Amino acid sequence: MSYQVDLRDIDFQLFEWLPMAEVLRSERFADWDEESLRMVLGEALKIAQKELDPANEDGDRQGSRWQEGVVTVPDSFVSAHRTLAEGGWVGAVNNPAFGGLGMPAVIGAAANEFFDGANLGLAVSLLLTRGAGELIEHFGDDELQGLFCEKLYTGEWTGTMCLTEAQAGSDVGASTTRAVKRSDGRYLISGEKIFITYGDHNMTENVVHAVLARLPDAPEGAKGLSLFVVPKIRVHADGSLGEANDVQCASIEHKLGIHGSPTCSMLFGADDACEGYLIGEANSGLKLMFQMMNAARLEVGLQGMAVAGAAHQAALGFARERVQGRHWSKLTERDSPLVAIVEHPDVRRMLWTSNAYVQAMRALLLRTFYFVDMAASSAGDEQARYQSLVDFMTPLCKAWASDWGIRVCDWCLQVYGGYGYTTDYPAEQYLRDARITSIYEGTNGIQALDLVMRKFRARGGESLEEVLAHSESVAQRLADHSQLSGAAAQLAEAVGEVRSLIAQVSKRSDAYLSLTLNAVPILDMVGHTVAGGLLLEQGAIAQEKLGQLGEGDPDTAFYRNKVGSAVHFAYRCLPLVKGLGVAVHAGETAAIDAVM
């Protein structure tokens, strides 16, 4: 079955729920209107279905290959990447002064859902290339911007992020890669980086690496890291390519999923001839790299949702076609016809819960990308507020959407029964591909620690209060709603539970231990509460639209299902908030006390 996506829900969330008019009023996006944005999304979906989806099986079955230091990806990846680059999709949201298209980030996110869902192994290269270009644009000098930004944003070259070393995974400060300044102002880089996505490949002529390294006189730890641009092929002043730059791929990993994406071990300076350019000030590298990492974390959350959405659509299609058993209401009637499994209650439960989570994840992500656009197009206190909201939502989007994206893929595989466990259907690949999203760009445990230890206190707690207050206001507005009052009560209870727990834990004598031990469940609680509020807000809009439709209107089923998704999430998913809080309130610490 070819890649499918719930385009109607995306259109609803973008143009009926989000205040897109506020984004388009900005001078930054003056060249865009609703009609042109819809056309852009239609073209993106066409490319996803016609180019990326057919290459997805090649990526999984053939995978990327390493031979004598040379990495190749499937031929279909090369042609699909060329289509993306020529269409301007790599730098679609980036600065037009450097070859980008300058479209709103929230529209770019919707387009990237198509690309990620159709072929995550290929689409991940776009994320890193954009990130490398943005690093150079924001922190590089005129020379670096001129040499690299346009080539990255147009997809002529690709980019990477090189942090991890064998002894320095999450503890980036333990990195030992070295940089020594030369007399011409450039630097000799030496060291090895591992787990480098698209560190080498044959899709483009050059690969531009953003590399963390340590100068000889640098302080120990993370504060002593500097950031360098290190191209695979040296670049002349006129932008033409020169000789190879002593950057080698020593091997690629053999992985559970995203087989088409080469995950490389990279050697810099094996022959003491690797040339790099310093970005920004010395010893400020990790701070600069976090800009790329935070943007990437939002996109990884998007990946989790996108693959889950694709898995749901595929499982729904299978369930409509797979005939097995009698209708639940006619089980005792031996002569009753067999029905498609989509008619069976437990299958419907799995599909509908999957659907509700996908919509909730999409809402969480698109609202955050809307904040990105508002931060980029405002100034002063307003800009600071929107940027703080982006910062607060980033670990939430990355961890909550990727964790539940994996669970949705698991449920969708279950819909297929035994067939889901075979390679005859895409369910098993969706599950394998999605699994990386909770790990890379900062494991979800680290995202949870960032949320509870740092983001809760940001702006004196104002960002936390603002997102909780939004869910609380939705619950209050709908408390007496004829259709949604029960769901609103569930949301109000979830908000109250989160507020109560945070207030209690912060006053404990063992607050630090309690927060670190329970960071992941606390993030899960906040994620459900915030996303549940957004989904219920959408349900209220859909309910209002239902009252405006005439008999036989084709949108009736969509709006009715939209209301049903919000109610289902409120009753089936929001109660997890209270359940997760039980152990935290009780102060249970068996994992700490255990002998391991």
DSSP string, 85-97: HHTT-TTTTS-GG
Q: Residue 344 belongs to what H/E stretch? A: none
3-state secondary structure of 489: helix
3-state helix/strand/coil string of 218-272:
CCCCHHHEEEEEEECEEECCCCCEEEECCEEEEEECCCCCCCCCCEEEEEECCCC
Q: Return the ∠ at Cα 67 (arms to 66 and 69), rounded to 5°.
A: 85
AA identity, residue 16: E
Residue 309 near residue 358, CB atoms below 8 Å: yes
DSSP collapsed to 3 states, 309-349:
HHHHHHHHHHHHHCEEEECHHHCCCCCCCEEEHHHCHHHHH
456: which residues sit within 8 A by CB, 6+ positions away? 464, 502
Closest CA to 296 of 477, 459, 439, 96: 439
Question: Cα(116)–Cα(310) distance, rounded to whole angstroms?
Answer: 9
Cα 103 to its chain centre, rounded Å, is 18
Which residues have a Cβ under 8 Å from the Cβ of 324 and sit 6 or more positions away? 338, 339, 340, 341
- Angle, CA of 496, 498 and 499, to the nearest 5°: 65
Nearest by Cα to 201 from 122, 100, 270: 122
Long-range contacts of 342-351 (CB under 8 A, 24+ apart): 342/316, 347/319, 347/415, 350/315, 350/411, 350/412, 350/414, 350/415, 351/312, 351/315, 351/316, 351/319, 351/412, 351/415
> Minimal CA–CA distance to 505: which of 444, 574, 456?
456
CA distance 429 to 414: 13
d(CA 596, CA 588): 17
Measure the CA–CA gap between 207 and 234, rounded to whole angstroms.
10
Which residues are marked as active site? 441
What CA–CA distances, in Å, run from 377 to 33, 175, 367, 566? Answer: 16, 37, 15, 31
Tokens found for residue 51: 């180019």
Q: Report residue 451 as tokens.
A: 């949320």
